[in-house]
Amino acid sequence: NAGVTQTPKFQVLKTGQSMTLQCAQDMNHNSMYWYRQDPGMGLRLIYYSASEGTTDKGEVPNGYNVSRLNKREFSLRLESAAPSQTSVYFCASSESHSSGNTIYFGEGSWLTVV
Amino acid sequence: GQQVMQIPQYQHVQEGEDFTTYCNSSTTLSNIQWYKQRPGGHPVFLIQLVKSGEVKKQKRLTFQFGEAKKNSSLHITATQTTDVGTYFCAGPKAAGNKLTFGGGTRVLVKP
């Protein structure tokens, strides 16, 4: 059981380049999330998808777009990368969007923007 | 908006000693979750507390939810090198499961 799988694991971008982080879960979860983690800042929610066909902004959505391609897949796109987007990105999923559901994280994607 | 604060940010512990990390919310929480992230790894769910005053134990880890459901603590006894990592608490916003994570307590163990 792979759980939450995200790619790529490492990426270096030049300022202004675009890229898409891919995420897939095999737990038949309804809700999926993208977080970013910066030193001392904990985990901050970028976007989430409560269920297939819906997406909503989190705490720090600026500079990002998402697509819930189907129930399994939730991608994060950086249209024009900036150095401030250098971070570790985690995709996550949960059974539903209701309070109290455990969140399962992918292994993370280390992104550096130079 | 809701904020979840954790203290201390860093904890240096001598192997074998006990320590406690604290989580405080600006609002009442319906539940609180704790996650552990090993260095270079991803957060992994440890436990969820729901009831006021609830105490749960996992081997050497004791989790407590405050009576007012605005704070929580994690106490580790006889710290081991396997306890190294960052411990996050997280509480849901008023609607849905948009967890707000604390900044984490990074635990370093001195052998």
DSSP A73: B
Distance in Å, alpha carbon of A5 to nearest chain B alpha carbon = 12
Lowest mean pLDDT among A16-25, A65-74, A92-101, B13-22: A92-101
Question: Which pLDDT does position B111 carry in this prediction?
Answer: 86
Q: Per-residue confidence at B1, pLDDT binned at 50, 70, 90?
A: low
Is the bond preceding residue B111 a cis peptide, omega within 30 degrees?
no
Helices and strands, number each (H, E), in chain B: 0, 11
Mean pLDDT value across residues A70-93? 97
Pairing of strands A10-13, A109-113: parallel
In the predicted model, is pLDDT for residue A40 greater than 80? no
Q: Which of A42, A43, A100 sits opposite B48 (nearest CB)?
A: A100
The string of pLDDT tens digits covering residues B87-103 is 999 988 655 557 888 99
In this prediction, residue A42 carries a pLDDT of 86
Confidence class of residue A99 from pLDDT cuts 50, 70 and 90?
low
- Minimum distance, in Å, between the CA of residue B104 and any CA atom of chain A: 6
Percent of chain B, pLDDT > 90?
82
A39, pLDDT greater than 60: yes
**Omega of the bond leading into B43 within 30 degrees of 0 (cis):** no
How far, in Å, CA of B23 to CA of B90, rounded?
A: 9
Q: Using the beta-carbon criterion (under 8 Å), do B97 and A108 form an inter-chain contact?
A: no
Mean pLDDT score of chain A, rounded to an integer?
A: 94
For residue B110, give the amino acid letter. Answer: K
A100's torsion region: left (phi>0), alpha (psi -120 to 50) or beta? left
Tracing tokens 């819906």 back to the chain, one arrives at A54
Query: Do residues B67 and B54 make contact, with C-beta atoms less than 8 angstroms apart?
Result: no
What residue in B sits closest to A110 (Cα-Cα)? B40
Shortest distance between the Cα of A77 and any Cα of chain B, in A, equals 20
CB contact under 8 A, B103 and A41: yes
Q: What pLDDT score was predicted for residue B94?
A: 59
Which amino acid would we find at residue A101?
Answer: N
Report yes or no: B88 at the A interface, CB cutoff 8 Å. yes
Which of these, B95, B33, B30, lies nearest to A103 by C-alpha position? B33
Average pLDDT of the segment spanning B2-25: 93
Amino acid present at B38: R
Are B103 and A94 inside 8 Å of each other by CB? no
Indicate yes or no: CB of B98 within 8 angstroms of CB of A45: yes
Give A-chain residues touching B6 at CB under 8 angstroms. 42
Across the interface, whether the CB atoms of A43 and B88 are under 8 A apart is answered yes
Distance (Å, whole) CA A90 – CA B43 = 9
Per DSSP, the residues of B28-71 read: --S-EEEEEE-TTS--EEEEEE-STT-EEEETTEEEEE-TTSSE
Contact B43 A90 (CB under 8 A): yes
Q: Give Dmax (Cα) for chain A.
A: 39
Among B43, B32, B39, B38, which residue's Cα sits nearest to residue B6?
Answer: B32
* Residue in this structure with the two tokens 């391609």, named with its chain if needed: A69
For B97, the closest chain A residue by CA position comes to A99
